[in-house]
Amino acid sequence: MEGYSLTITRHYRSNPKKDFRYVFRIIDLDTGMYVGTGYSARSEKEAFEKATEMMKKLG
């Protein structure tokens, strides 16, 4: 079984005026381990696509 997590944060360390950061994590609910993760400064969809691409590469 799989689940997912979406985190939207701001990065204040280098520049307080930067935009949101979208982080998408796909989690195996049985083990609690991440099976894919992706991030984007532009959109949730792009973060999701990066996470699913990681899963495809890892099989």
> What pLDDT does 56 receive?
87
Predicted TM-score (pTM) of this structure: 0.61
> What pLDDT does 44 receive?
82
Which domains, ranges and CATH numbers included, belong to the chain? Answer: 2-58 (3.30.160)
Who contacts 50 (Cβ-Cβ below 8 Å, separation ≥6)? 24, 37, 38, 39, 40
> What pLDDT does 32 receive?
82
- Residues 8-52 pLDDT 10s: 666 556 556 656 678 888 888 788 888 888 888 888 889 889 888
> What pLDDT does 3 receive?
67
